[in-house]
Amino acid sequence: MRMANSSAEIANTNLPAFGICGWSGSGKTMLIEELARRLTSRGLKIAVVKHASHGFEVAGAEKDSNRCFRGGADILLTGPGGSFFWIHKAEGLVETIWRLTPEYDLILVEGFKSVPLPRKVWLGDACPPEAGQVTCTLGSNVDRVGIVLKMALDWLDHLAISTPVYAGILFGGASSRMGEPKHLIYHEGITWLERAAQALDPVVDQTVLLGRGEIPASLKSLVVLPDIKDKQGPLAGMLAALRWHPRASWLFVACDLPNISTDAIRWLLSMRMPGVWATMPRLGAEGVEPLLAHYDYRARPLLEFCLRPSEIAQMPQVRQPFPPAEIAEAWINANTPADRACI
């Protein structure tokens, strides 16, 4: 997938970037520090990118950072609540934002007044022409923290539900207990693979098939992604999808869920919200369901270091809701002929 490669393009994306601009002394740093504190207290991961074209000085124990910065290095400083400050030269803002988005809920950008961003405010009574289009201008006599905090939270709410949703159906496993390829089992006139694709079609932007094996004629037009070589089991297909389209959120579905329904998928997508990087439903006390689950693109760094997708379930960014009783059967898989007979 091609990323935005210019500053103009970045303003028209759904990147979680929010700019705070103003002349020196306008209160940019103070506002950003308070925003970072309040946002991280809500469980969000925040990064701050600071423009330091005229040099940067950190008092006290961090004075070594000043020498490194003057020597040409970018500086990463730990901030409150797990946020960090990335202090760097003027070049490379677009690349920096793209690099940070998979690991942070929101990126606060201080300075860079001439760079278009999806959301940007100007601190001061009058916005200069070189700042371009800003969302609003905030004088010193208003509640800047309250106003910008609401704007940021509204922007995050929008992003949570507007990120493209792709679906990946995993198929082609050994099916040793079933005795035949599960994705090709017929039920009510269609295969289980086709049934999953039909349930997903009304609510996703695109469905892809993950694995290898015979594909029903009705699904021949779908993209098929082979498993990656450096992972085993479901992760081999899931990460193939996440690497193929790294800016989409993903629904991952097993082919052996004969009771899958569009209602269950809609409920799963209703769980999306800022700070939630994955939703893995729980049917009981035995653990979570990693398939027929939703993964924001920020889940990819977590999954890259796992052997099984369920390993991320205890991360604070992962939600584990109980599905309503009327749709819970959608998560019941069929592994044996006895399971199949109970459908």
Q: pLDDT tens across 73-110, in order?
A: 555 665 555 555 555 554 567 777 888 888 899 999 88
Find all residues with CB under 8 Å of 67, minimum gap 6, and list them: none
Q: To which residue do tokens 């970037």 refer?
A: 17
**Inter-residue contact 20 to 108 (CB < 8 Å):** yes
- The string of pLDDT tens digits covering residues 208-254 is 999 999 999 999 999 999 999 999 999 999 999 999 999 999 999 99
In tens, the pLDDT along 113-131 reads 878 888 899 998 888 888 7
Q: Which amino acid is at 164?
A: P
Does the pLDDT at position 318 exceed 80? yes
- Across 298-324, average pLDDT: 94
Is-same-fold flag (7-161; 163-341)? Answer: no
Q: What is the pLDDT of residue 261?
A: 96
Which helix H or strand E contains 240, and what residues bound it?
helix 234-244
Segment 46-69, tens digit of pLDDT: 988 876 555 445 444 455 655 555
DSSP state, residue 227? P
Q: Where residue 339 falls among pLDDT bands split at 50, 70, 90?
A: confident
> Nearest to residue 306, comparing CAs of 234, 225, 241, 211?
234
pLDDT number for residue 126: 84
How far is the C-alpha of 144 from the C-alpha of 147, rounded, in Å?
Answer: 5
Predicted confidence at residue 173, as pLDDT, reads 76
Task: Write out pLDDT tens, residues 247-284.
Answer: 999 999 999 999 999 999 999 999 999 999 999 999 88
pLDDT surpassing 60 at residue 4: no
Instruction: Please give the mean pLDDT across all residues of the chain.
Output: 85
pLDDT for residue 61 = 46
Q: How far apart are CA 200 and CA 195, in angstroms?
A: 9
Which residue type occupies 222? L
Percentages (nearest 5) of helix, strand, coil residues in the chain: 35, 20, 45
Angle at 42 between CA 38 and CA 48, to 5 degrees: 55
Domain ranges of the chain: 7-161, 163-341
Please tell me the distance from the alpha carbon of residue 322 to that of residue 284, in angstroms, as a whole number.
Answer: 8
pLDDT confidence tier of residue 2, bands split at 50, 70 and 90: very low
Residues of the chain with pLDDT > 70, as a percent, come to 83
- Out of 3.90.550.10, 3.30.450.20, 1.10.3720.10, 3.40.50.2000, select the CATH number for domain 163-341: 3.90.550.10
- Tokens 């592994």 belong to which residue? 335
Of 279, 265, 272, 267, which Cα lies nearest the Cα of 196? 265
Using an 8 Å Cβ cutoff, are 298 and 275 in contact? no
Give the list of residues 6+ apart from residue 116 with CB closer than 8 angstroms, or none.
7, 8, 10, 11, 132, 133
Q: Which amino acid is at 37?
A: R
The structural architecture, per CATH, of the domain 7-161 is 3-Layer(aba) Sandwich (3.40)
